[in-house]
């Protein structure tokens, strides 16, 4: 499962229901590139519980400005279209997991 590509035009639709973790990034941002594989892992790991999306701040200044994203990477968790919590800067995977686990329902065990 790959992260969803978010834009100014599809942002409201994509984040409107359930939990969505949004990675605000840019291609020239070194720390953004460092955490990119982690973001992809989270998309698979939380599939069905949390949607994971990436928003290129250079191409989508509307949403970036709306949420006052000043430094990247910034990750914001949205619930039903509203921001609930965010993190700034490259973090270890367990920090992102702790954020998601606080809001996401536990994975079904088989």
Q: Residue 2 has what DSSP assignment?
A: P
Q: Does residue 42 sit in helix, strand or coil?
A: helix
Cite the active site residues. Answer: 29, 32
Q: Residue 17 pairs with which residues in a beta bridge?
A: none
- Per-residue CA distances from 76 to 35, 42, 80, 109 (Å): 14, 14, 13, 27
Using an 8 Å Cβ cutoff, are 70 and 16 in contact?
no
> Which residues does 27 contact at the CB level (< 8 Å), separation at least 6?
33, 56, 58
């Amino acid at each position: 499962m790959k992260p969803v590509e978010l834009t100014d035009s599809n942002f409201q639709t994509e984040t409107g229901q359930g939990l969505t973790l949004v990675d605000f990034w840019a291609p020239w941002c070194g720390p953004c590139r460092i955490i990119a594989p982690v973001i992809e892992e989270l998309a698979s790991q939380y599939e069905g519980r949390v949607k994971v999306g990436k928003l290129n701040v250079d191409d989508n200044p509307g949403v970036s400005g709306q949420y006052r994203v000043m430094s990247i990477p910034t990750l914001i968790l949205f619930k039903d279209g509203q921001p609930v919590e965010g993190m700034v800067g490259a973090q270890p995977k367990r920090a992102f997991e702790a954020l998601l686990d606080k809001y996401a329902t536990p994975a079904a065990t088989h």
